[in-house]
Structure 1
Amino acid sequence: MNKQLYSYANTTVKKPDFPLAVKVVMIDLDGTLLDTAEDLALAANLMLQDLGRPALSVATIKSYIGKGIERLIKRALTGDLDGEPESQLLEKALPIYKKHYAENVHVNTKPFPGVKEGVAQLLQAGFHLACITNKSESFTLPLLQATGFHDYFEIILSGDSLPRRKPDPLPLTHICKHFNVQPHEAILFGDSLNDATAARAAGCHVFCVPYGYNEGHDVHELDCDAIVPSLVEAAQLIVKAVPNK
């Protein structure tokens, strides 16, 4: 493909030729690897029921996903993406939500179409695989175990694994250091502004899928190297980089 110019953060950079040569593939969980919206909504509505509040639609709660569970709870309580409920209400709601989500973490959750096939292609090609999510480790690990993906990842970073999480670049730079690669030798597959922002700040490549959550916004508005229909197509746009001599 011909190189084209596009703008990001007031700088002009070259859009890369495909396939991209990388060594590490990082994959987001909610909205990219797994469709978790129904179970997140189930837990939210059970929480709201316990608090004597009306239930919300799955579509509404889906638009609240992307900044971690605490932010999801704040949005469910206020009906506002940037809403801040009273501290006492939030303090009461948090353990209720966590209890319900722990009990229902894998009721309806399933891989998105093409995920199993795409991950299989990535493994066969010899890429290092990492999972980076803003979900708490107490939910991330059981969910990956239940869906059969846990052992495919050489490292899993949850929202509470490091001092900062996406959209901060720290999880991505941590992965690069773990595998002793340069940022341009790594790529993140994601579905949201969090993913695109973190990847650009870290200096990594980023592909986005259109089927995820992205807080209700169109994924085509994001600054990424490609919009890919599934992880199968994503795997076809990268090749294993040749080791440095």
Structure 2
Amino acid sequence: MADFDLVQFDLDGTLIDSVPQLADAISAMLSKLGLATQSVNAVRGWVGNGADMLVQRALTAALGQAPDAALQQQARSMFDEAYANHADGSLVFYPGVLSTLEQVRASGMRMALVTNKPYRFVPGILAAAGLGSHFELVLGGDSLAEKKPSPAPLLHVCRQLDISPARSLMVGDSENDVLAAKAAGMAVAGLTYGYNYGRSIADSQPDWVLDDFAGLASILKL
């Protein structure tokens, strides 16, 4: 028997490499503001804490100082408008993701998606990826009052699906995922290839460290 009944997945840096789309949207936002655009690699280091923080980090880099509240709000609106045109284009899945998700689905194990990305962008991405029906519950970073690293989203999923946190596995690529899972009392697998601010995911001490998404099959006893 598998040790888990439910797997909760992060999205960006775990299932898909969304940095190209995010970088395009950030560049469009900065250009519209008359500011210097930033590199894709810079944007890669800013992902993981939601759109507000991504925009703030981009503005701070371009300005040399933190933006005021009015500019932050204006820029966030511009980013959302730009990202809506880029979010579901040319999706890049990490190796092993699609085949492993199919294995999990075929096993009868339940799946949910918990991302810090604003929810409005998520259904279109899942539809474009052919994953619209894979997840029983999908939460964005603005779906609840708190987002990861708060355990609230993960615990909300467990309550909604009536599954104990002890029977749920979190799968993500950043310390936000690990911290949220530990605080929720659930096991967590950390992937080494995603966005973790230049630090090793092993530093956060997840229960498993995986270089390859397909390694989930052995953890889940598929």
**Interval of TM-score (by shorter of Structure 1 and Structure 2):** over 0.9
Match of residue 105 from structure 2: 123
Number of equivalenced pairs: 220
Which of 194, 198, 202 is 1:212 aligned to? Answer: 194
State the alpha-carbon separation in 1 of the partners of residues 112 and 217 from structure 2.
14
Q: Deviations over 1:63-116 (max 9, x none)?
A: 000000110000000029xx7411121121111111100011122322111100
* Counterpart residue type for residue 73 of structure 2: E
* Largest Rg, 1 or 2: 1
Structure 1 Cα separation of the partners of residues 97 and 14 of structure 2: 8
**What are the residue-to-residue correspondences of 1:78-227 with 2, within 5 Å?**
78-79=60-61, 84-227=66-209
Normalising by structure 2, we get a TM-score of 0.94
TM-score, normalization by structure 1: 0.86
Retained in 2: the 8 A contact 1:137–1:160? Answer: yes
Give the Cα–Cα distance (whole angstroms) in 2 for the partners of residues 103 and 171 of structure 1: 27
Segment of structure 1 superposing worse, 91-100 or 103-112: 103-112
Paired residue secondary structure (2:98): helix
Cα separation, 2, equivalents of 1:185 and 1:84? 42
- More strand by proportion, 1 or 2? 1
Equivalent in the alignment of 2:41: 59
Tell me if structure 2 keeps the 8 A contact 1:190–1:209: yes
Contiguous gaps of at least 5 residues in structure 2: none
Aligned equivalent of 1:14: none
CA distance in 2, matches of 1:84, 1:128: 42
Residues 137-192 of structure 1: CA deviation (Å, up to 9, x unaligned): 11011111111112100111111111111110011111111222211100010000
Which amino acid in the other structure matches residue 125 of structure 1? S
Distance in 2, Cα, partners of 1:106 & 1:24: 26
Instruction: Report what 2:16 is aligned to.
Output: 34
Q: One-letter code of the match for 2:71?
A: L
Displacement of 1:217: 1.6
Amino acid at match of 2:107: A
Shift of 1:20: 6.4
- Name the stretch that deviates more: 43-52 or 83-92: 83-92
Partner Cα distance (1:234, 1:147) in 2: 20
> Quick one: percent identity of the two aligned structures?
34
Q: 1:119 to 1:196 in 2, by over 3 A?
A: same
Aligned to 1:98, the other structure's residue is in SS state helix
